[in-house]
Structures are given as structure tokens and as C-alpha cells.
Amino acid sequence: MAHRRLPSLSALRAFEAAARHESAKQAAEELNVTATAVSHQIRSLEESLGVALFLRKPRKLELTDQGRELQQTLEAAFDSISGAVERLSAKPCRQAITLSTTPAIAVRWLVPWVCLLRDSHPDIDLRFHTSHEPVALDGVTADIAIRYGDGRWPGLVAEKLFDNTFVPVCSPHLGLRDIAELPKHPLIHFRAQAALSAPIHWASWQKLANVPGLDVSAGLVFSDETHAISAAIGAQGVALMSRQLIEDELREGRLVQPFGPEMEGKPFHLVYPESRRDDPTVRAVREWVMRVPGGLCEVRADIGNAEPATSLHTNQVNEAMD
């Protein structure tokens, strides 16, 4: 590459600023130097080039034809340099978003696939808020949620993700096949702390099954679904669990469903404020959730097709989401 013949860059900056302002004084203020220094740099540049760049007039600098040609070239060059420096030095604007859901949904369904969101949107910092009770989607506690319920929450868009079918399950090592043998085995209960009620519990299941001699108040009690699932896998008893959360264990044979009946609980929905339907970060997380493998009963590619939740009175939100 040929060696570039360039005059002093300081002189070029001084000239460009003076040409833009048509004033050595204003150029000096921009460059944080004296007007005398600017005038000296310009004269040095003119001597170096062998041409006059300005016509000196009282209280004003007027460009010559040569000066105008150089000024236009420098303006474009400095704009290009400034843009490149800004692009290279600017830190990406990161967006944080909080997704609220139950501990089991977070750990067993979402967390293993966070990599999909990270790969497609590396600028998004996803934060999990785990709770069995609904929280305000106010952008402070949480922005978006996965909750079970009837899908009717005021001011919110609710998109059904998957059904929530509860079935009795246990380890195949228990050898349990006959429902009449159930009273001989401990029941495993899931009761979330501070939750208003469990989604489905053994007492409601017993009303359907009517198993003689079954004490639905006895057994092991866990406040975390994942612990209850682990106890069932470990042959510690029989659990009543959402089949959608234990599909892997059923498929791999670590858990079996020895008998019915099955009970339909309230389905899980993806929920976010109607006012944030077009929020780019909400849309990105929504699209990620829809791509997470397993359990989705309906996928909508276009967020615009999502229907807002049916109107209920605002103070009924918590009760409705129970």
C-alpha cells in the first residue's frame, strides 16, 4: 500500500471546524484551544498545501473554492471515522426481563432450554421468579409469566401452552398394579407453602376413585413438586403429579402410571400485559417459550393472533389464577 501524504491531523481538524463555523473563535471553543492556535494551524495547513483555504473578512472566514473542496472531503471523512468509533466502542444495550412461574416449570421445562434464548437473543438477561402464587406483571416483580388457570385475567394476554392432567405415579420397583393395593403404600403429597390451594390433591382424587381404606391425610408431604417427583422415583410412595411434568420419567420407565382415574387440572398459559404485546423483549421471550420442546398443545407464530384474557374485575386476578 502506498504511503499516504497527509498534513497534520490537528491542522485538518482545526480547518474543518473553522470552515463549519465560519469562525476561528467558535472552532477554538469546540476544540478547547485558543483562537490564535486555530489560526496558526490553518496557516500551517495552507503553507503545506500551497493554496489559500479562506478569504479573511472582518468577523468571518469565507472558504475559497479549494477550501470548500477540502472541507467537503474532510466532513465526510470525519463523519465516517466518528461513526466507526461509535459503533466499535458502544456497548450493546442489554435488556433484563423477569419470567414468573412455578419452581417445577422453571427447573423441569424451561431451564434446560435457556440456551435457545441466549443463542437467539444474547442481549437479553432472563431472570426467573418462582412462585406458586400469581404476582403482578408490573415490570418490577415480573414482566411475563407461565401460570395455571382458566386463562381469564383482566388486561393480560393469555396463550394456552399445555394441559395439566394429574395421574397417580410411582416407581416400577414398588410392583404396584392393582388400585386396591394402594392403601398399602405411602402417599406422596405436594403442598406449596403459602399457596392458597394445591392444583389437585389426593382428597379430590379419592372422591373419584373411592378406594376402600385409603387414608388421604397420611404420607409424605413436600412443598416442592420436584422433591415429590424425586421421592416417587426413589420408590418412597405414590404421587399424584401433572403428567406433563413427568413425561421424561414415564417415557424412560423411571415412573409408571399403574392405574387411574386421571384428573384434569387447569391448563398452563403464557401470560403478559396487553399493553406490552409489541414490546420487543416480551416478544422474544414469548417466541422462545413457544419453541421450547415438549408439552406445547398449540403454537402461535404471530403474537398478534394472541387474544387478550377475558375481562374480570382487577381484584379477582389472584383468585382467578389459583
Give the model confidence (pLDDT) of 263-298 as tens digits.
998 899 999 999 999 999 999 999 999 988 764 433
pLDDT value, residue 308 = 36
d(CA 115, CA 119): 6
Q: Where residue 149 falls among pLDDT bands split at 50, 70, 90?
A: confident
Residues 102 and 112 in one domain: yes
Identify the domain boundary among 89, 108, 126: 89
- Give the burial string for 178-192 (b: 16+ CB within 10 Å, else e): ebeebeebebbbbeb
List the CATH number of the domain containing 182. Answer: 3.40.190.10
Give the model confidence (pLDDT) of 79-100 as tens digits.
888 888 877 776 667 789 999 9
pLDDT value, residue 9 = 87
Residues 140 and 68 in one domain: no
Residues 212 and 156 in one domain: no
Instruction: Please check the confidence at residue 10 and state whether its pLDDT lies above 60.
Output: yes
Of 108, 256, 262, residue with least CA distance to 171:
256
- C-alpha distances (whole Å) from 183 to each of 151, 179, 187, 212 are 36, 8, 8, 8
Identify the domain boundary among 226, 246, 264: 264
Residues 83 and 196 in one domain: no
For residue 102, how many other CB atoms are within 10 A of its CB?
Answer: 26
List the CATH number of the domain containing 47. Answer: 1.10.10.10
Residues 141 and 273 in one domain: yes
Cell (9 digits) for 214:
385409603
Read off the pTM.
0.61
d(CA 281, CA 288): 11
Residues 278 and 252 in one domain: no
- The answer to which of 112-126, 235-249, 288-302 has the lowest mean pLDDT is 288-302
Partners of 97 in beta bridges: 126
Report yes or no on 4 lying in a domain.
Answer: no
Largest CA distance in the chain: 110
Residues 155 and 282 in one domain: yes
Domain enclosing residue 78, as ranges? 9-89
Provide DSSP, 3-58.
PP----HHHHHHHHHHHHHT-HHHHHHHHTS-HHHHHHHHHHHHHHHTS--EEEET
Burial group, residue 312, by CB count within 10 angstroms (0-12, 13-18, 19+): middle
Contact 129, 141 (CB under 8 A): yes
pLDDT value, residue 250 = 94
Structurally, the chain folds into a number of domains equal to 3
pLDDT value, residue 301 = 35
Residues 174 and 38 in one domain: no
Residues 195 and 313 in one domain: no
Contact 265, 97 (CB under 8 A): no
Q: Which residue has the cell 406422596?
A: 188
Q: Where residue 253 falls among pLDDT bands split at 50, 70, 90?
A: very high
Give the model confidence (pLDDT) of 158-208 as tens digits.
999 988 899 999 999 999 999 999 999 999 999 876 554 456 889 999 999
pLDDT value, residue 305 = 42
pLDDT value, residue 300 = 35
Report yes or no on 2 lying in a domain.
Answer: no
pLDDT value, residue 199 = 63
pLDDT value, residue 309 = 37
Q: Mean pLDDT across the chain, nearest whole number?
A: 84
Partners of 271 in beta bridges: 145, 158
pLDDT value, residue 120 = 92
pLDDT value, residue 311 = 27
pLDDT value, residue 57 = 80
Q: Which residues contact 11 (CB under 8 A, 6 or more apart)?
A: 41, 42, 44, 45, 48
Residues 159 and 180 in one domain: no
Residues 219 and 130 in one domain: no
Residues 76 and 30 in one domain: yes
Give the mean model confidence (pLDDT) for residues 96-105: 92
Identify the domain boundary among 66, 89, 112: 89
Report yes or no on 1 lying in a domain.
Answer: no
d(CA 123, CA 104): 26
Q: Where residue 321 falls among pLDDT bands split at 50, 70, 90?
A: very low
Q: Which residue has the cell 470552515?
A: 19
